[in-house]
């Protein structure tokens, strides 16, 4: 079959004269694919190959009618833009004896490549790459040709496949909305709550902020028209809600105000005035009337409109107490010594007591209290006038009598007796001094008594000492503990002799001493060494020892503990099945629980399946940041609380800004000149999103200084 096919192909080749379309009509027949062969100079056609589609076996055919041996050849090619096309071969034939129509061929022994000249492509460089950018289809932009189509890169301010539509939406004129370009300009689709051609008007009336009224939008907010009886910015104020009428009934007036209808006895704008509240009836009881007035019922003794008139207020009783009467009059109760209707009469006013003080008896009479030395009804009698003192000087007394100051050597009431000291009555060197009634003795320190004949009177012993007389009647003192000296005048400190042994400290309690001992000594004077193990303080057959500081140490038998072996080990009665006992409690391993470690521990996360990458801890799901719920099944809206400005859209918590805006919240207007659109040293100038280039000399172009 292949031989017949070869003959047919050869005949076809000869008949066709190896035209440039050797493979046209597929001379290889059904089940085979035809591939052209080329000369090494890349131009004239030099034959073709027929390859079996089922096993890739190929046979080559050449202009002389010969055919190459059959074998497994891998021929292939691809066409594209200007460049090279390669065919992989398996054999010794030089496949660069081919025809690269608009290029040149290179061959490395296993592959030949057609390197196409500019504007051509394809396996044989026979496909012309059409320049779709000439003329420029991009009305306001740059054109880029891909061989089969073109792409437009628009100048700033233009959009559309051919840059033929002005971009009214950059910058976004819709303040709170999205923008769409139309033939008539931008069209805004406003966000909820906004309206207007530029979405710049906020509907402050949705929801209605006027609690008791109707809402109207204004340029910068809203205005409420309140229902009758209400007021305030939000019509939420009822002037009667706070009950301004203290003692009355409140009625709104429809203008934000109110009127009060007062209860009986009250008046004023807020019915808060009661004529009796200020107690106008000074000394009486106030009763208010319905017309806002009042009447006073006066207390006894007062009269006048306000019960403020009292006949006693001018003090008509000069030296007495005034008492009003029911008829508006008064009576006087006079002080002692005064009389008369107005208590203005006093019998002592004429000073009847010559040498004394006058006192009114209250009945129109008086009594004189005489000065010292005077007596009589009018204090006109002098007690010393008749010289009663024989050998001395007379002095009147306050009792209406007199006393005598006697001359030396005389005594007695009237100084008519001789000197009692002439007999030397004072013993042991005492000094005698005569008196009007006799004499007195001034004794030396160690004697006492009326005549200085007792050495213990007064007691010369100080600090509680006891006085006794010796054989010669001299005083001697017996001192209490802690004192010494002839008169027990010297205090003695019993701790001065340091009576406390073995480092004990001495303290005085009154005149007794007390020793505070250091461990391990005791006794009144710290003289006893204590044995901490005598008696044995260790319980439950514990053994007592003492350490180097004589402190007790108990060595306890098994099952007992404590400083004195007083605590029985609680672990003796506890059976920790799968654990160990410590201080009377079972300590269980990680996989066991229970008071005696008897229960296997069930993993709380065994049946918990956390979705979306959550992790189970102690039976609860710990969710990643973008999920929530008991099983992390609910996606978290990361855009909650994220407000993207200037038409930006929130995606997964991040703002995707509209063209011309940047920043975390799309709050920054992008400077279009930052991309340096002006070529050849041109200077960019921008106003908002509109830019233009100031070109240097020799350059121009539509707007970017790209052309000379």
- Could you tell me if residue 428 is inside a domain? no
pLDDT of residue 610: 92
Which residues are CB-contacts of 75 (< 8 A; sequence separation ≥ 6)? 35, 49, 51, 58, 87, 88, 89
- Domain with residue 243: its CATH number is 2.10.25
Arithmetic mean of pLDDT, 400-423 = 78
pLDDT at 143: 83
What pLDDT is stored for residue 364 in this prediction?
67
Q: Is the dihedral of CA 265, 270, 275, 280 positive or negative?
A: positive
Asked whether residue 602 carries a pLDDT value surpassing 70, the answer given is yes
Q: Residue 536 in contact with residue 553, Cβ under 8 Å?
A: no
- The helix or strand, by DSSP H or E, that contains position 79, with its residue range, turns out to be none
Phi/psi at 592 (nearest 5 deg)? -135, 150
Strands 505-509 and 490-491: unpaired
* 7 & 124 share domain: yes
Per DSSP bridges, beta strands 483-484 and 490-491 are antiparallel
Question: Does pLDDT of 358 surpass 60?
Answer: yes
DSSP 349: G
Residues 629/642, Cβ–Cβ less than 8 Å: no
Cis, bond preceding 567 (omega within 30 deg of 0) = no
pLDDT at 425: 87
Domain boundary among 382, 407, 430: 382
Does pLDDT of 441 surpass 50?
yes
Query: Looking at residue 525, which CATH number applies to its domain?
Result: 2.10.25.10
Q: Could you tell me which residue, 254 or 165, shows the higher pLDDT?
A: 165
The whole-number pLDDT of residue 46 equals 54
Percent of the chain clearing pLDDT 70 (strictly above): 82
Q: Which residue has the higher pLDDT, 120 or 554?
A: 554
Query: Residue 16 pLDDT more than 60?
Result: no
Looking at the structure of the chain, the number of domains it has is 5
Residue 294 maps to a domain: no
- Do both 11 and 122 map to the same domain? yes
307: left (phi over 0), alpha (psi -120 to 50) or beta: left
Range 69-74 average pLDDT:
38
What is the percent of the chain with per-residue pLDDT over 90, rounded to a whole number? 8
- Position 325 pLDDT exceeds 90: no
DSSP β-ladder status, 320-324 and 294-298: unpaired
Span 408-436, average pLDDT: 81
CA angle 562, 566, 571 (to 5 degrees): 75
Indicate if 100 and 43 belong to the same structural domain. yes
Q: How many residues does the chain have?
A: 708
pLDDT in tens, 165-201: 888 888 888 988 999 888 788 899 998 878 888 887 7
Do residue 374 and residue 390 come from a single domain? no
- Parent domain of 500: 494-529
Give me the mean pLDDT over the 672-687 stretch: 81
Q: Identify the band that residue 109 occupies on the pLDDT scale cut at 50, 70 and 90.
A: low
Q: What does the pLDDT average to over 475-502? A: 86
Residue 18 falls within a domain, yes or no? yes
Mean pLDDT of all residues belonging to the chain: 77
* Predicted confidence (pLDDT) at residue 563 exceeds the cutoff of 80: yes
Residues 402 and 371 in one domain: no
Domain boundary among 129, 147, 172: 129
Is residue 658 in some structural domain?
A: no
Lowest-confidence segment of 32-46, 179-193, 286-300, 452-466 by average pLDDT? 32-46
pLDDT for 344 beyond 80? no
Quick one: average pLDDT of 494-514?
84
Q: Are residues 504 and 409 part of one domain?
A: no
> Does residue 689 belong to any structural domain of this protein?
no
Q: Are strands 71-72 and 103-107 parallel, antiparallel or unpaired?
A: unpaired
Distance, in Å, from the CA atom of 185 to the CA atom of 201, rounded to the nearest integer, reads 20
**Paired tokens of 290:** 């319905």
How large is the greatest C-alpha to C-alpha distance in the chain, in angstroms? 204
Q: What is the pLDDT of residue 632?
A: 93
Residue 313, both tokens = 């207020």
Are 264 and 365 part of one and the same domain? no
Q: Using 50, 70 and 90 to split pLDDT, how confident is the model at 588?
A: very high
Residue 145, domain member (yes or no): no
Same domain flag for 389 and 408: yes
Domain boundary among 367, 382, 397: 382
Say whether pLDDT at 600 is over 80: yes
Has residue 119 been placed in a domain?
A: yes
- Mean pLDDT check: name the lowest of 46-50, 197-201, 648-652: 46-50
pLDDT of residue 120: 64
pLDDT of residue 302: 78
How does residue 587 score in pLDDT terms, banded at 50, 70 and 90?
A: very high
Residue 330's region, left for phi above 0, alpha for psi from -120 to 50, else beta, is beta
Name the pLDDT band for 495 (thresholds 50, 70, 90).
Answer: confident
Q: Checking DSSP bridges between strand 330-334 and strand 320-324, what pairing results, if any?
A: antiparallel
Average pLDDT over residues 526-545: 90
Both 117 and 6 in one domain: the answer is yes
pLDDT value at residue 40: 39
Report residue 627's pLDDT band, with 50, 70 and 90 as the boundaries: confident
pLDDT greater than 80 at residue 243: yes
Structure tokens at 632: 């992390």
443 within a domain of the structure (yes/no): no
Verify that 378 and 397 share a domain, yes or no: no
**49-63, 566-580, 626-640: segment of lowest average pLDDT:** 49-63
pLDDT at 452 over 50: yes
Q: Are residues 396 and 365 in the same domain?
A: no
DSSP single-letter state for residue 91: S
**What is the band of 72 on the pLDDT scale with cuts at 50, 70, 90?**
very low
In this structure, are 372 and 393 located in the same domain? no
Given this model, what pLDDT does residue 544 score?
93
């Amino acid at each position: 079959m292949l031989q017949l096919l070869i003959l047919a192909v050869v005949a076809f080749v000869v008949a066709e004269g190896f035209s440039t379309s050797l493979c046209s009509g597929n001379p290889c027949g059904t089940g085979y694919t035809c591939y052209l062969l080329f000369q090494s100079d890349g131009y004239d056609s030099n034959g073709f190959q027929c390859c079996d589609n089922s096993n890739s076996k190929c046979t080559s055919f050449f202009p002389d009618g010969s055919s190459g041996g059959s074998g497994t050849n891998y021929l292939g090619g691809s066409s594209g833009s200007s460049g090279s096309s390669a065919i992989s071969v398996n054999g010794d034939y030089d496949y660069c004896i081919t025809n690269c129509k608009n290029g040149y061929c290179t061959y490395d022994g296993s592959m030949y490549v057609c390197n196409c000249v500019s504007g051509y492509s394809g396996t044989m460089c026979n496909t012309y790459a059409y320049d779709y950018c000439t003329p420029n289809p991009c009305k306001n932009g740059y054109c880029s040709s891909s061989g089969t189509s073109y792409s437009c890169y628009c100048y700033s301010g233009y959009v559309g496949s051919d840059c033929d539509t002005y971009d009214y939406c950059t910058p976004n004129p819709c303040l709170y909305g999205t923008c769409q370009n139309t033939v008539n300009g931008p069209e805004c689709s406003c966000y909820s709550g906004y309206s207007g051609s530029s979405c710049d008007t906020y509907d402050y009336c949705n929801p209605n902020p006027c609690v008791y009224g109707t809402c109207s939008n204004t340029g910068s907010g809203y205005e409420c028209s309140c229902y009758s009886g209400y007021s305030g910015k939000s019509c939420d104020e009822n002037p009667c809600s706070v009950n301004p009428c203290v003692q009355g009934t409140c009625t709104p007036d429809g203008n934000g105000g109110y009127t009060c209808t007062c209860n009986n006895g009250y008046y004023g704008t807020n019915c808060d005035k009661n004529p009796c509240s200020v107690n106008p009836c000074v000394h009486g009881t106030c009763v208010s009337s319905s017309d806002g007035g009042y009447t006073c019922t006066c207390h006894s003794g007062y009269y006048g409109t306000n019960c403020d008139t009292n006949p006693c207020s001018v003090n008509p009783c000069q030296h007495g107490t005034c008492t009003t009467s029911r008829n508006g009059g008064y009576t006087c109760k006079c002080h002692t010594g005064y009389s008369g209707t107005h208590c203005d009469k006093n019998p002592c006013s004429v000073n009847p007591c010559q040498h004394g003080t006058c006192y009114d008896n209250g009945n129109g009479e008086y009594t004189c209290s005489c000065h010292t030395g005077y007596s009589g009804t009018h204090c006109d009698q002098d007690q010393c006038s008749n010289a009663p003192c024989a050998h001395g000087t007379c002095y009147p007394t306050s009792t209406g009598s007199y006393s005598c100051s006697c001359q030396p050597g005389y005594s007695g009431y009237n100084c008519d007796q001789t000197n009692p000291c002439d007999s030397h009555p004072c013993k042991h060197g005492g000094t005698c001094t005569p008196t009007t009634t006799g004499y007195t003795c001034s004794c030396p320190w160690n004697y006492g008594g009326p005549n200085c004949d007792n050495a213990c009177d007064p007691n010369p012993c100080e600090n509680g000492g006891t006085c006794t007389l010796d054989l010669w009647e001299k005083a001697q003192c017996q001192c209490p503990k802690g004192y010494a000296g002839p008169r027990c005048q010297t205090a003695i400190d019993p701790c001065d002799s340091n009576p406390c042994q073995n480092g004990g400290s001495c303290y005085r309690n009154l005149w007794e001493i007390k020793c505070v001992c250091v461990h391990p000594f005791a006794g009144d004077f710290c003289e006893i060494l204590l044995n901490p193990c005598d008696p044995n303080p260790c319980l439950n057959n514990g053994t007592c020892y003492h350490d180097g500081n004589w402190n007790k140490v108990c060595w306890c038998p098994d099952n007992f503990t404590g400083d004195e072996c007083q605590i029985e080990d609680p672990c003796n009665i506890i059976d920790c099945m799968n654990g160990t006992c410590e201080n009377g409690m079972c300590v269980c391993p990680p996989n066991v629980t229970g008071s005696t470690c008897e229960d296997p521990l069930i993993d709380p996360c065994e049946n918990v399946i956390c979705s979306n990458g959550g992790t189970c801890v102690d039976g609860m799901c710990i969710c990643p940041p973008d999920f929530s719920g008991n099983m992390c099944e609910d996606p978290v809206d990361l855009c909650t609380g994220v407000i993207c400005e200037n038409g930006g859209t929130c995606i997964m918590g991040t703002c995707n800004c509209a063209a011309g805006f940047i920043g975390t919240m799309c709050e920054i207007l992008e400077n279009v000149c930052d991309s340096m659109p002006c070529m050849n040293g041109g200077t960019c100038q921008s106003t908002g999103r509109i830019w233009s280039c100031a070109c240097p000399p020799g350059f121009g172009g539509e707007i970017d200084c790209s052309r000379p």
